């Protein structure tokens, strides 16, 4: 019988999980401190929010490696991944590419864009 999130694990919010590096309350053992990650401007805030949802999706992915039939975890993974995809598109529309890739014309145009540290 598989465990499931609703009976055996308490998930924390995406923000809290990102700051402490663990989405599962019953598996969290404080070892130093809990970070309070915040950006200095709107670009950094958007990037950090994207990182939060990517982290949460990755945590659910790892959980699903062990409990692949947990429907609730699959739903959360899909929800976090969808939000991460949306935030990535928003970031790229405002500030340029965040990941390497080929555009519609099959050009490696990312090398012609400002580098992330040049856009701040």
- The domains of the chain are located at 5-118
Categorize the per-residue pLDDT at 2 as very low, low, confident or very high, splitting at 50, 70 and 90: very low
Per-residue pLDDT tens for 16-63? Answer: 888 888 888 887 777 766 777 888 899 999 999 999 999 999 999 999
Residue 75 has pLDDT above 80, yes or no: yes
Backbone angles phi, psi at 113, to 5 degrees: -85, 160
Backbone angles phi, psi at 24, to 5 degrees: -100, 115
Residues of the chain by 3-state class (helix, strand, coil), percent to 5 = 60, 0, 40
DSSP secondary structure of 82-117? HHHHHHHHHHHHHH--SS----TTS--GGGGSPPGG
Task: Give residue 21's pLDDT.
Answer: 85
Beta-bridge partners for 11: 24
Residue 118 has pLDDT above 70, yes or no: yes
């Amino acid at each position: 019988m598989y465990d499931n999130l609703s009976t055996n694990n308490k998930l924390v919010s995406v923000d809290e999980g990102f700051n402490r590096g663990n989405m599962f309350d019953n598996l969290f053992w404080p070892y130093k401190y809990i970070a309070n990650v915040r950006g200095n401007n709107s670009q950094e805030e958007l990037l950090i929010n994207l990182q939060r949802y990517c982290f949460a999706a990755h945590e659910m992915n790892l959980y699903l490696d062990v409990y692949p039939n947990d429907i609730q975890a699959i739903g959360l993974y899909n929800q976090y991944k969808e939000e991460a995809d949306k935030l990535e598109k928003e970031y790229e529309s405002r500030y340029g590419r965040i990941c390497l890739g080929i555009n519609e014309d099959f050009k490696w145009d990312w090398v012609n864009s400002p580098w992330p540290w040049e856009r701040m």
